[in-house]
Structure 1
Amino acid sequence: MNFTGKAVWEGEVEGKALVSEDPISFLGGVDPETGEIVEPGHQLEGKSVKSRVLIFPHGKGSTVGSYVIYQLVLNGVAPAAMINQVAEPVVAIGAIIAEIPLVHKLNKNPIKNVENGNKISIQGKNVRVEK
C-alpha cells in the first residue's frame, strides 16, 4: 500500500509502525529518558517510540513538547519517523529541530490503514506500507 503526503522534514527511513488513534503530548506524555509513552490511559501507555514509525493524528499540549522530541534524539530513544494526519506546530518544530522525518496530510488515513508492526518505508513525501 502506498501513500503520498506532505513532508515537514524529509528523510529516508524504514521501521515498524506504532499507531495511535489518540493525540500525543510529548511534554508529560512521553518519558524523554526512555521513549516510553507514560500518559495514563493513553492507547500506547507503556509502549516505546524508540526506532518506530510513530503514527498519530496530531500532537497536543505545551510548546515545550518540541524540545522533548529533540531530547528523545539526544537520549537515543526517538522515533525513526512520524506520520500525522495534520502536523501542528509543536510536532512540526520538534521534528525539524530533531531532524526526524515527518509526513502529514496523506492521501489516505494512515491510522485506519496501518497496523502496529507493519513495515513502513518513507522516502520524502512517499510512504510505503508492507503488511
Structure 2
Amino acid sequence: MEKIVGRGAFSGIVEGIALVCPESIQGWSGISDTTGQIIEKGHSQEGVNINGRILVLPCSKGSNGWSCHFHSAMRSGFKPAGWVFSKMDSRAGVATVVVGSPAVADFKDVDPCEFIKNGDLIRINGDTGEVEILQRSLEN
C-alpha cells in the first residue's frame, strides 16, 4: 500500500475518492453555494461536485472569504469528506474547521497533488497525518 505523511491538521479518519485540483479552487465564483459544483471557468474540474470527495489542493485560492463558500455549500448539503493540502494557509485552516472534515497538510518531501491521482480511493488520517492510496483510479 502506498502512503505519504504530512501533518494531521483536523482530527478524524475518512476514506473516499480523491478530487485533485492542482490549481486549487477559487473561493468567489469557484464553488456553487447551492449545488456544490466547481463553477470556476476553465478549472480542470469544472462541473464536478465536491460532495463526499476528498479534496486534494495545494492551498486555498482567492480572498479571505474562501471558507465562506465551502460553508455555504455545506449548509446546502454539499461538503467534502476530507481535505489534503500541500501547505496549510489561514483560509484553508478556517475552511477545514468550519466544514469539520478531517484534514492532512504540510507535506515536506512529496507534492500530494502529483502523488495522488484524481479518482484514487484514499484514506486520510487527520490525527497521524497519513494518506494511504487504497486503490488507484482506473482513469489514470
Would the TM-score normalized by the shorter structure come out above 0.5? yes
Post-superposition Cα deviations, 1:29-68, rounded to whole Å, max 9, x if no partner, equal 0102111110101111111111001111111111111122
TM-score (norm 2): 0.87
**Which stretches of structure 1, 4 residues or more, deviate above 3 A after TM superposition?**
none
* Identical residues among aligned pairs (%): 28
Shift of 1:118: 0.7
* Ranges in structure 1 where 5+ consecutive residues have no aligned partner: none
SS of 1:26's equivalent in the other structure is coil
TM-score (norm 1): 0.92
Shift of 1:27: 2.3
Counting matched residue pairs gives 131
- Matched to 1:115, the amino acid is K
Superposed, which structure 2 residues align to 1:30-49 within 5 Å? 30-49=31-50
Q: Distance in 2 between matches of 1:73 and 1:101?
A: 15
Q: Report what 1:61 is aligned to.
A: 62
* Ranges in structure 2 where 5+ consecutive residues have no aligned partner: none
- The answer on whether the counterparts of 2:103 and 2:124 sit within 8 Å (CA) in structure 1 is no
- The one of 117, 120, 129 equivalent to 1:118 is 120
Over the aligned positions, Cα root-mean-square deviation in angstroms equals: 1.3
Structure having the higher helix fraction is 1
1:74 aligns with 2:75: yes
Q: Distance in 2 between matches of 1:75 and 1:94?
A: 15
